[in-house]
Structure 1
């Protein structure tokens, strides 16, 4: 199936808004200074499944190591590193800090799925089967075997995005209301800071804790408690980057932590340095 025709003016405006979002990237200013990074959106029919694409090109005179605090999302990643054959991976949700060394020249074209929205593409497996793992794509999607050569080769970015659209549209997943439900629940956690306890959240949604945990295991790949904590760290990371004088005790309370010590512990465990040290290094 060919990719639908795009409204280029509308998509360009939306793409610029998407590209401004650097949540989860450790030291985003340094990252953006080292690589050419874009986040175009997919064609309209794919947006219920895909949050955005992400394209990276680099030409480095010295190696650079990037770090990302992962989102609760799975990815398909087309990769071309200098001196290596191109390859395509499926990346389940990474639980710890994701680190990638870049050197020489290269290109990556990635697909970031909305939390809960990948399962219809591979409905025989719970997404939790792939959590913390990176696999050749054909081990997860055997039907994609004949569609892997067209994404990395086009020199023009528009053509690469169109190739990603065509690739996904050709997989044609069946509608799944439970996937839509899981995606909506994760979005509520992301946007509503008052959601702090899984039991309260499940009750408010008319679900038992066990039913919510089963839904998240099957469709998202991690539990709701992990997602609540991860979005807290993303917000703390943004504060550390933008406001070096952050009152960490107040922020800890705002994010639902019992005290400042708990926030500092989670931040340090996830990012690798305490929030005050991270904030100072960025300013």
Structure 2
């Protein structure tokens, strides 16, 4: 399981937050489930800033079921009052069952409202209101629904999971060319696969992973040298890392390091 704060820019500001592994029946469909819960005093809010994974998320809360696209920039949500959400970080094999054109959702989201989705919301809402073990029961209900919805995912969709593993997993490729070589496909084929199942280019996915990792290292080890991080993550130099960090996150690495560790 990936570090539960990876992708969260300021973990100290989090409400209760849990990442749960997917049940075995949906490991090809879901990377992990995530559940925030919050209870914020009246008149106040909690801003959660995220550099999200380059993937789609299916999210259930008390009001709606929302499909959120991959993002190209840092994002935030302001939490108020009390509430919860249960989200699934989707693997490519699940995407085709939910949307025909994930590129149309990049940096956006869509409320789903068909009858089957209403059943999902009702089942998860019931589980989250049932006391001890509610998170695990909510994940089981979510997984059961998703297994039925995406059971028809074809072999091309499942092959796209291998692309995600090469671009985002342990020992991930540093360039699209390296990823294509590992997968024994052309760069053009790799581009078509990520566009079809994520909505982003391979280069954009690699960029997002590198920025997540850079933020994580800066936060966990304030003394680490920027040049060392840049070299390990495949940047030409620390100036290249700084430009990328500033362009996507809107803040310089050194400034982020001082804020995240304060």
Task: Render the CA deviation track for 1:1-24: whole Å, top value 9, x for unaligned.
Answer: xxxxxxxxxxxxxxxx55x42111
1:118 has 2:94 as partner: yes
Q: Residues 50, 204 of structure 1: CA spacing in aligned structure 2 closer, same or farther, 3 A cutoff?
A: closer
Distance 1:28 1:97 in 2: 15
For 2:147 and 2:178, the matched residues in 1 are separated by 38
User: How has the CA–CA distance of structure 1 residues 163 and 209 changed in structure 2, closer, same or farther, with 3 Å as cutoff?
Assistant: same
How far residue 181 of structure 1 moved from its aligned partner, in angstroms, is: 2.1
Q: 1:133 aligns with which of 99, 105, 108?
A: 108
CA distance, structure 1, for counterparts of residue 20 and residue 119 of structure 2: 24
Aligned residue among 138, 159, 163 for 2:141: 163
Q: Is the 8 A contact 1:117 1:179 kept in 2?
A: yes
User: Where do 5+ consecutive residues of structure 2 fail to align?
Assistant: none
Q: In the alignment, which residue of structure 2 is the partner of 1:64? A: 46
Tell me, yes or no, if structure 1 residue 37 matches structure 2 residue 13.
no
Instruction: Tell me the CA shift for residue 282 of structure 1.
Output: 2.4
The alpha carbon displacement at 1:142 in A equals: 6.7
Q: What number of residue pairs does the alignment pair up?
A: 254
Q: Deviations over 1:146-187 (max 9, x none)?
A: 443221233231332232123223324214222222211221
Residues 64/247 of structure 1: CA separation in 2 closer, same or farther (3 Å cut): same
How far does residue 200 in structure 1 lie from its aligned partner after superposition?
Answer: 3.9
Any conservation in 1 of the 2:58–2:66 contact (CA below 8 Å)?
yes
What is the CA–CA distance in structure 2 between the aligned matches of 1:195 and 1:135, rounded to whole Å? 31
1:74–1:118 CA contact under 8 A, matched in 2: no
SS in 2 for 1:249: helix
Alpha carbons 1:90, 1:136 under 8 Å: kept: yes
Aligned mates of 1:49, 1:151 — CA distance in 2? 18
CA-based RMSD: 2.1
Structure 2 SS opposite 1:153: helix
Does residue 78 in structure 1 map to residue 53 in structure 2? Answer: no
Q: 1:209 to 1:147 in 2, by over 3 A?
A: same
Q: Does 1:151 align with 2:151?
A: no
**Residue in structure 1 matched with residue 254 of structure 2 by the alignment:** 276
Q: How many angstroms does 1:130 deviate by?
A: 2.1
TM-score by length of 1: 0.82
User: 5+ residue gaps in structure 1?
Assistant: 1-16, 81-85
Cα distance in 2, alignment partners of residues 70 and 25 from structure 1: 8
Q: Deviations over 1:200-257 (max 9, x none)?
A: 4324432222111111111122111011111110110111101111111122122111
Contact 1:120 1:173 in 2 (8 A): no
TM-score normalised by structure 2 residue count? 0.88
Kept after mapping to 2: 8 A contact 1:252/1:258: yes
Q: Is the 8 A contact 1:59 1:105 kept in 2?
A: yes
